[in-house]
Every structure is written in structure tokens, then in C-alpha cells.
Structure 1
Amino acid sequence: MIALDPSIKRHRTADVTLTLTSPDGTPLAGHEVVVAQRDHKFLFGCIGFGLIPFVNGELAGEEAAAAEREAERWLELFNFATLPFYWGDFEPVRGRPGTARVLTAARWFAERGCVVKGHPLAWHTVTADWLMAMPNEDIARAQVARIVRETTDFAGVIDMWDVINEVVIMPIFDKYDNGITRICRDMGRIPMVRMVFEAAREANPRATLLLNDFDMSAAYECLIEGVLEAGIKIDALGLQSHMHQGYWGEEKTLATIDRFARYGLPIHFTESTLLSGHLMPPEIVDLNDYQIPEWPSTSEGEARQADEMTRHYTTLLSHPAVAAITYWGMSDQGSWLGAPSGFLRADGTPKPSYDALRGLVKGAWWLPPTKLTTDGSGRVTFSGFLGAYEVTTPASTATVQVDTPGDTDLRLTV
């Protein structure tokens, strides 16, 4: 293994002693084996929104070919997909949810070894317009029913959810009226969180449930503390990091992680972006307010993005509290706010950031096929990142999961 950041080596790798035995328990002494990494334990994620038409067979010709190339690049880099469940888009007409289309996409990712997450089950933005004609009590019942339906219908394929999104601003959101802000204002943030988490937990007890927010101020910390003091069980904290106004830098990133790591919950960087064009002006408060006709990727910006991507991912991997990072968009085509934030340009060609991250995820942080020979006790030793490893002997192939950093003893029957 090449030289690593000491924190990454300490928290993300293992020195494995693997004992191989035959089915009757006899050590396989003096056997040549090949050990190859097949997956990371760490969740390297990206949204899969743009691939939904492709996996549902809705494209043809060059559109289908371009989407297939994007899908191949997506799968080469990521093991964790986030799919959209924005209520207003998912169920624009009450009682007619888009379950089949999204479920097809979820299965496509899952069949290719990806963990799949749904985003979000409750949010005041892109929520269903038809809620507005209902009294608050009925809106709350409809929200719970929607959560139960989705977590039940997708169970076994999607067992991870951003349950509620951006609660800090939810009851005071004033861009436009909507049903979810109404009920959150009526019942309060913590009762709202309790309602949606309990509905999701009861419907799918094995699901991993996240609280997600963009507000990295003390207000989010106060919310988390209130939620935990109220006895509401959450499984992970989602931190958004849309860096349209510039890279946070290592110091700010680590300080932010430390502030939220004190709750003892795994941290997911749920929405990360870094730009390869000009940065959004610093005076913009709500990123959604910056709407321009064109926002091109530039050579200078692409070099900067590649450098910042390497630094950002290295920083996140160095902190033991971080369990996942989801990048918010594979391509500039259809990107959020039209920003040049993707790994691919609008024409589908990869930017330097794609190659830079691939050089980490499947290079510096990856063990390629390695030939080893067992000793007299059937043992081989290797060092690698936590994750799944395929072990091949002349007679068979088996998989072993390396989940614990440091010195690790494992046994495998092959």
C-alpha cells in the first residue's frame, strides 16, 4: 500500500491475517491465492437521478448511448446511490405515486452492489401542491401515510432514508406557502421529527434513518440535542456541503465534523458539490437565488475542482465519524442551479476531477488483485482498506468482509 495520511491509515485500513481452510477444516497450506478488493465499506455516493430514464428504457439512439457511458462511469466510482422522492414530483396527483419507475431504478443500482438511499420523505420544498386544500390534521395524516407507503414498498431495496430534510428552516420558511411548513409551524420542530421518524421506524425497523440539514449553525446542534433529549432515535446525521461559493477548506471541514461528531452518531455528507467554473458571489444568502443563463466549466476551474475534490475526500476519510459522502450530481447536464459542479461536462466527457477521485477510490485507496501464498498454517497477510475482498484459489472463490481497522484475524472456508 502506498503512503497514506496517518489518520486514514489508522481509521480506514486493516492489516489482515487470513486463515484459509477447506470445508473439513483443514488449513490450505502452501496454496497460491489471489486477493482482490471488490468494494469499500465506506460509502462513496452520488445521486442517481439522471440515470432513471436510462434504466427504465425510456431513451433511444445517442441519448441511450450517452446515458450508458455515464452509467458505466458512475458504477466505476460509486457504491452508494441516492434516488429522488420529492413528494410533489413523486405524487403530483394524489393516489398516483411514481413507485414503479423509481423502484426499477433502485433495483438496478442494488443489483450492481450499491447501497440505495431515498431522499427525502418529508420536506417543505417540492412537496405536493394538493396538500394545500387540506386542514393541518389531514396533512399530517397524509405525511405519515406517505412515509409508511414508501418505506414499505421499497423495503429490502431501499433501507436507508433521509427521513426529514432541513427542519431548522422548515417552520419559518417564507418563500411560498406549503403544507409541510404549515404543520411544522403548528406542531413544532421536535414533534414533527418524532412523527416522521416513528412512522418510518415502525414501517421498516431495519432501515437506517437520517436527519438531514444544510444549516451548519448552532441552530442545527440545538435541534439535534432537542431530538435526542426527547428520546427520538436517529441513526445518522446528514450534513450538506454545497460549496458553490468556494471550498470550505480542511480546517473548517474538520471543525464542522467535530461539532457534530460529539453526538456519537455516524455522519453522512449527504449533498456535496464543488464547482469547475466561476464561484457564486459571496453575498448570496440563499443559493437558489442565483439564477443565470449560462454557467460554463472552465479549464482553470476544472483544475481547481480536481484539487479541491482530492482535498475534500481525503479530509472526510481522515475523520472516523464520517461514514458516507454523496456527491450531488455526476454531470453538468441538468445539474442543480445549472452550476458546473459535475464530474462530467455537459457533453459527457470526464473532467480532471473524475480522474482525480477515481485515482483515490480505485487507486490509492484500493487493493488490486494480489498474488499470495499461504504458509504452513494456511495463512496469508495483506493490508487494505475496509471492505469486501474476493479470495481465489485454484479450486474456488469466496468473499471475506474486512470491517475492523488495525490488526485483524479472519478465517475463510474455500
Structure 2
Amino acid sequence: MIRNFQKLNSINTALLMVSLLLGQVAWVRADVPVNMLPSGGVTQFKLNAKSDKAHVKVVPVTGQTFNRAIQATTLVRPAKAYELQVLCPIAQPVKKGDVLYATFWMRSLASEDETGDGVSLLLFEKVGPPWNRSIQLPLTANSDWREFNVAFASSDDYAPRKAQLIFRIGYKPQVVEFADIKLVNYGDSKTVEELPGTKISYTGRDANAPWRKEAAKRIAEHRQSPMQLLIRDAHGQPAANVPVTLNVKRLAFDLGTAVKARDLAGDKVNQLKMQAKIKELFNCVVLENDLKWKAYSPENKPLIDIALAWCQANNLPVRGHTMVWPSWRTNPKSLKKQYENDPTGLASAIAQRIDTIGSTFAGQIHEWDVINEPNNHHDFIDLLGVDAMSHWFKLARQADPHAVLYLNETGVPVSGPGAPVYDKLYEYIKQLQNSNAPIGGIGMQGHVGWSMNSPEQLWQIFDRFADLGLPIKITEFDIGVTDEELAADYYRDFYTACFAHPAVNGILIWGIWEKDKGYKPEAAIYRKDWTPKPAALALEKLLSQWHQPITATTDTDGKINIRAFHGAYDIVIPNQTSKPIQTITHTSQSPVIQIELY
């Protein structure tokens, strides 16, 4: 489709030179595509301004159909994303309505984004105010080269060098590369719809994908087992032909969401809707920010106490997030001022922080993220040494003798299986275990972007960490994409893949309501008016399947033999009462459960 660029470029350059001699621009309306970028490929792309926050260079590439790329390194996130852009002005004129087609490849070598992906924004815009844009498209890529094909119409007339193709890079520190960049003008010979665009998806999305049968097999093996009930009448004799209903009270798999303490403590309309939705869908919660060092103070403790009391009243265990987030930028500014050159003082301040937050809420928090995101946030570790991590866990155990203690990491399990973050996380956990730190679980945040691991890749990642003998929890799951059907399908398949792996003990979403997701509203599953997005409908349907009531009738010996999910069940005898007569817990080791009728 796209060929003979050099020849076309020469012809159109000649036409342009003639037109310039005549004092006007010749707008090319060719039936063949016109290359809009100057010769030289990626070498023509430059950083928009000198900056100590980023740099770009051309690097060699092997193993691809292209042999070089423009590598853009963001060192410090600027105040505004547009402050750092890699751009190239067009070499040919374009007319309003012309159909343009951008094709390129992108990958990420390193990223501090919570998804683990490199992040950019593709733009085609006017050079200078008012910066009119014809396209503005978010881009993400992991360590594998990803091809992009983007068709769009020009929003205005532009002479050569009066519009530019841009890759915005003013985001969290990262190293991204762009290669084989082409911009072609089809004029009016094509429509946007006729040109093939990049359709983001993931392997295994198909309804008949082979992994689905394997997942069903694994779920039956690891999440279910035979259950035997023996129903006796009031005289202690087996009760035959008695109908029994078992309602799932709590699945033996954590299903939760992040929530603000004020939303559990308040009685405004949206707060009540949040509370109702939590009780409808979830069996645990995590307080999103209230317990972080930067946010917590004795003044807000009464609000937290009310929220924790609400959770206790509704049988919702609470995760604590987080004791130590070990970087200057994620903590009170006073810490850096006081302790940047005082390791002893910093160590003492951290110890006091762990003791205060841990002991204050001991008995009310069932799990703690002791350390959060050490791969990207390691200022404290750099200053105090890696052994400090083990010490923090031991201090946490002293402060709270019973909570399960986690190391929580970002970029997992969402980065490609070969990403360096996995090696670093594995190394951290081994170091903690070797030093007898009381680590009880691995927190994998699960912030998903446009790069989505297949279910088989997720299993591969979980298999590796299962060897460490610790449970894995997805602690901050969300999907930050604008394709709502894609998000819905991946919600269903991500949950299914996790439920199918025996090392995974739960999934918590990092907030469900659009109004609470101001920085990333596309990741919410309920809109501002609480109408469900497709992802919410997919999740509700899946959870409903896992919580289906079981109905059965005793045989002549008063027995019921069924296969059931592990968890707690309310037993109801419909012909006696609609209220549960007993609550039972079913595990793979459960003996015969005896129930007496009164």
C-alpha cells in the first residue's frame, strides 16, 4: 500500500518548488499516497526544546524490518506533559479534509508508569497557537515492539513546516523508542474508514480460546471440592426428602475494592450508593489513601474509626495501605528536609511511623502493605540499605501481631513476562525470606493499560512467584483504556485467569466509581451517575456465576452430596423458614457437615 516514497517525495518537492516560484502553494490531490515527512526517517525527529528532564537519540535496532529508532528518555516528569515532545514538521502541504495515515512502531525499555508500559500521546497539530489538532491518540507499549496504524483527517490547511507529527513524552520517567515512522497523505482518494487501523486486543480474547477449558478445569480442581451434608430431624434421625438451599455468604477468595474512609462513614446519596455497591459485590475493602503516611494524622482518625466500624458490622475485612512507600516524593515534604542527609534520623522516623500506624489499628486491619512499590520508589532503601526492608517487616509484626504482611509492587502482573520488574520483585522477596522477615504475601497491583497479558502469560507469571510459597493478591486492579468492550472482556478474563490459579487468593479493584477516578476516569466501572459500564456488567455477571445458590434434596439417608466452591454458606430449609438455620464453612478438607432441624 505504501511504496515508492522517495520517488513520490521528489516529484512533490519539484511541484512545490515550482509553485513557490509562482508565489503560491500547490495542494497535492494525488490518487497515490504522498509521503509527508522529510527524508531521513527517525533522524528528523527532535526534542521540542532543550531540557534537563529528557533527551533523545537515534539508536540501532536488530531483528526487525527496520534498523534504527528514535529513543526518548524522560528523566523527570514535567509540570505539563506537553513540555516534552518528540516531533517532526511535515515536508509537504496538506489540505483540510485530506486523509492522513500514520504508521510506526513503539516499545518501552523502562517505565515508572503503574501499568509498566511506556506511555506517549500521538498528535498532529498546527505549529504555533492555537495548536489546532487533527488527532490526539494515547499510546502505550511494553518491551515488545508494537505496530500502530492510525488514519485521520486533517482539520485545516497547512503549508510545509506549518504542522507537525508529535510523540508526547512528558510523563513519568521512562525510556521509549519509536521506529519506522511514516505519515502518508491520501488526499480524498481514501476515507478514514477504508484504511486499516490498529485494533488493540489480547491473545485469548476469542470465545473459543483453548485456555478457557483449561481455566474451567483448574477452577474445578482448586476452587471446588465435594461437600457432604447430613440433615437430622429434631429427634436426631436422618431427615429424608428435605429440600435445602445453600447461599454463598463469602467465597474463599477475596473480592474487593479501594474506597475512601469518608464514603464509608458518610450518609450522602453517593456515599450510600457506594456502601450498597460494596455490600452487593465485595467481601473486603482497602482504604485507598487514608492510612498513607502523607495522608494520615490523628485528626482524621475518628473518620477512619467510623469507616472501620462500618466494615466490621458488614463482615468486610480491611487491607491497610501502606506503611512504608520508600521515596521522598510519596511522603510528607518534611521528611526530605529533615533526613535526606541523616540516615539514622530517617530510620528512627520510619520505625515510629510503622509502630504508630500498626499498633493504632491492630486487630482492625487483616492485611498490611508493609512496603509499596520498591522497584520505582527506593530513596529510603538507597539511603538505609536493602536490609532495612526486612527490619520494616519485623517492626510491622511487633506493631500488629496478627495481620498478614505484604510487599506490594506496581507493574505486575501487567508488564510482559520478561520485564525486569519481575526479577527485582523476586529478588526482594527472596531477600526478605532469607532474612526471616515475616512476609506473608505478594501484592501485585494490576494496573492494566493497552498492553494486556494473555491468560496463559498471567499463569506463567503466577507460576514463577508461586515457587516462593506465598499467596499472591491482585491489590489495585483497574483497566485504563477507552475501549469499553475491550475492558469488559479483559475484566472477565483477568478475573477468570486469577481464579483459576491456586496461588492467587484475591483481587481488589482500585476504585469503581468514575467521580473518584479523576486522574483516570476511563478505569472506573461505574459512571458518575452510577450506571454500569460494560466492565461492571461483565464483572457482575461473573461474580453472580460464582455465587449461585445451590439447591438440593436429601436422600433416604438424609444426605446431600454436591460439589461446591470453597467458602462460607448460609443453610436455608425453604419449607421451614426463609432465614438461615446455620452457617457452614466448606474447604477441601471439610468432613461431613451435620445439620440438625428444630
Counterpart for residue 208 of structure 1: 404
Q: Is the 8 A contact 1:168 1:223 kept in 2?
A: no
1:138 CA drift (Å): 2.8
The structure 2 residue matched to 1:375, chosen from 545, 552, 555, is: 555
SS in 2 for 1:248: coil
* Other-structure match for 2:226: 15
Amino acid in structure 2 at the alignment position of 1:73: K
CA contact (8 A) 2:442 2:473 kept: yes
Give the TM-score normalised by structure 1. Answer: 0.81
**Deviation of 1:101 (Å):** 1.4
Counterparts of 1:353 and 1:164, CA distance in 2:
30
SS in 1 for 2:431: helix
The separation in 2 between residues aligned to 1:249 and 1:231, in whole angstroms, is 34
For residues 212 and 344 of structure 1, do their structure 2 counterparts lie closer, same or farther at Cα, with a shift above 3 Å needed? Answer: same
Q: CA deviation at 1:256?
A: 1.3
- 2:138 corresponds in structure 1 to none
- SS where residue 330 of structure 2 aligns? coil
Cα pair distance change 1:10/1:141, threshold 3 Å? same
Shift in CA distance, 21/348, structure 1 to aligned 2, threshold 3 Å: same
> Residue 22 of structure 1: CA displacement?
6.2
More off after superposition, 103-112 vs 123-132: 123-132
Counterpart among 367, 384, 409 of residue 592 in structure 2:
409
| Among 511, 515, 520, the residue aligned to 1:333 | 515
Structure 2 unmatched runs, 5+: 1-212, 412-420
CA apart distance, 1:207: 1.0
Take 1:206 and 1:26, find their aligned partners in 2: how far apart are those partners? Answer: 42
Preserved contact between residue 263 and residue 274 of structure 2 (Cα < 8 Å): no
Gaps of 5+ in 1: 172-180, 278-300
Counterpart among 383, 389, 392 of residue 196 in structure 1:
392
Mapped contact 1:15–1:408 kept (Cα < 8 A): no
Q: Quick one: which of 540, 550, 553 aligns to 1:358?
A: 540
How many angstroms does 1:35 deviate by? 1.9
Q: Secondary structure at the match of 1:156?
A: coil
Q: Could you tell me how far apart the structure 2 residues matched to 1:385 and 1:379 are?
A: 18
Please tell me the residue identity of whatever aligns with 1:410. Answer: I
1:243 equivalent among 448, 453, 478 = 448
Identify the match of residue 119 of structure 1 among 321, 324, 329.
321
List per-residue Cα deviations over 1:369-403 (Å, max 9, x = no partner). Answer: 52x33234332223221111111232761000112
Q: Matched residue of 1:325: which SS?
A: strand
Is 1:397 paired with 2:581?
A: yes
What residue identity is the alignment partner of 1:357?
Answer: L
Counterpart CA distance in 1 for 2:596 and 2:448 is 47
Q: How does 1:244-323 map to 2 (within 5 A)?
A: 244-277=449-482, 301-323=483-505
Equivalent residue number for residue 39 of structure 1:
250
Moved more, 113-122 or 336-345: 336-345
Matched residue count: 364
Higher share of residues assigned helix: 1
SS at match of 2:250: strand
* More strand, by proportion: 2
Give the aligned residue type for 1:110.
Q
Secondary structure of the 2:396 match is helix
State the alpha-carbon separation in 2 of the partners of residues 250 and 410 from structure 1.
36
**Secondary structure, in 3 states, of the residue corresponding to 1:268?**
strand
Question: 1:87·1:127 contact (CA, 8 Å) conserved in 2?
Answer: yes
Structure 1 residue 164 corresponds to structure 2 residue 378? no
Counterpart Cα distance in 1 of 2:586 and 2:392: 34
In structure 2, distance between residues paired with 1:41 and 1:390: 14
Residues 16-25 or 252-261, more deviating = 16-25
1:87 equivalent among 286, 289, 293: 293
The Cα of 1:355 is off from its aligned counterpart by: 1.4
Given that 1:19 and 1:412 are in contact with CA atoms closer than 8 Å, whether structure 2 keeps it comes out as yes
Q: Could you say which structure has the larger radius of gyration?
A: 2
Q: Is the 8 A contact 2:515 2:521 kept in 1?
A: no
TM superposition score normalised by structure 2: 0.57
Deviation, structure 1 residue 354: 0.9
Q: Cα gap change, 1:273/1:397 in structure 2, threshold over 3 Å: closer, same or farther?
A: same
Larger mean Cα displacement after TM superposition, 389-398 or 309-318: 389-398
Q: Which residue of 2 aligns with 1:178?
A: none
Q: CA deviation at 1:413?
A: 4.7
Shift of 1:26: 4.7
Check the 8 A contact 2:367/2:403 in 1, yes or no.
yes
- Whether the aligned pair in 2 keeps the contact of 1:211 and 1:236 (CA below 8 Å) is yes
The 3-state SS of whatever aligns with 1:140 is: helix
Question: 346-355 or 13-22, which moves further after superposition?
Answer: 13-22
Higher relative contact order (CA 8 A, sep 6+): 1
Alignment of 1:136-175 (within 5 A): 136-171=343-378
- Pairwise CA distance, 1:24: 7.8
Q: Which residue of 1 aligns with 2:134?
A: none
